[in-house]
Amino acid sequence: MTDRYASFLPAEYRTETQPISTTWKWRDTEVHVARAGTGEAPARVLAIHGAGGHSGALWPFAALAATRGADVLFPDMPLYGRTVVADPGRVRYQDWVDMLCDLVVAERQHDSRPLILFGASMGGMLAYEVAARTGEVADVVATCLLDPSDPAARSAAARYSVIGGPAPTLLKIGASMLGRVRVPVRWLMDIDKMSLDPALSRTCATDPLGGGVSVPLGFLSSFMSFRHTRPENYSGPKVTLAHPAEDRWTPPEISIRFLNRIAGQKTLVLLEGCGHFPIEEPGLSQLVATMEEIARTHGWNPDACAR
């Protein structure tokens, strides 16, 4: 599965580094966590996927960090990947936030090294929220900051933009009666715009572990109505928005508007030529350089590692 996605990256960024599958018990859920590293790196990276991905789909990016000397962990969020949920119909967006916060705290209890969060797509806001809530994160890097309280953000995420504005109300009404009913996520979210490469978009949309999954209406309702930590009240670590400049799914200006409201340190990097799934050059190299620059501030020297 990881090779399937790696084939879309430029040849120089493909690596044979494969994840080690581990399991972390959280409530009644067996969370699959892909890991790589020696345990000797000065810093670690926790990657977070969004609504159309899973650890296998985005592992080629995590592997880039691993080959440059970082220890990496990448959980499959409930409903996605190889994570096993006892009752999928009950999963809500709040569970995603709670699970990630608990995972960060659990990891930090036995490992005090700096932890960098890398959130892709919807994972960007999750990384932001976990950093805000736990106080255990050293840096946040997000490819997108899609705030569901913003009608423009909801319209961008929705398959049909016209429903973005009233989505919380419509989904709340539907979820009150049919909250456990599961529907393909691609029916409601525009996963066809995942990449500038139509073949990669199709791969994501039909992946039974990613964009091809079905999610309960209650999950979608809980996401659309969720209120993240107000950016004006944010007191977490620096937030770096590394947004694909040619993103046809979630336009950069939506994320930038949220970034500009964040109190404290923040940085914007526009990944040139990249779509929502950033595989194109020169943006991919810019993303790698951004991660390496952040890593150096935590004692990690990518240049000293074999490529």
Q: Domains plus CATH for the chain?
A: 2-297 (3.40.50.1820)
Structure tokens at 133: 């809530």
> What is the per-residue pLDDT across 80-111, written as a single tens digit (0 to 9) for each?
999 999 999 999 999 999 999 999 999 999 99
Answer positive or negative: Cα dihedral of 268, 63, 78, 99: negative
Rounded to whole angstroms, how far apart are CA atoms 81 and 162?
Answer: 30
For residue 14, give Cα distances in angstroms to 145, 210, 239, 249. 27, 21, 27, 25
> What does the pLDDT read at residue 174?
53
- Spatial contact of 305 and 71, defined as CB atoms under 8 Å apart: no
Q: pLDDT averaged over the chain?
A: 90
Give this prediction's pTM. 0.93
- Burial track 225-260 (b if 16+ CB lie within 10 A, e otherwise): bbebbebeebebbbbbbbbbbbbbbbbbebbeebbe
29-50 residue pLDDT tens: 999 999 998 888 999 999 999 9
Length of the chain: 307
How many angstroms separate the CA atoms of 20 and 36, rounded? 6
Q: Is 189 helix (H, G, I), strand (E, B) or coil?
A: strand
Per-block mean pLDDT, blocks of 10 residues, the chain (307 long): 86 91 98 92 95 94 89 97 96 97 96 96 97 98 94 75 48 60 84 93 95 91 90 97 96 97 96 97 97 91 64
Token digits of residue 157: 């995420």
Q: Give me the pLDDT at residue 230, please.
A: 97
The CA–CA distances, whole Å, from 271 to 136, 160, 225, 286, 303 equal: 28, 26, 29, 6, 22
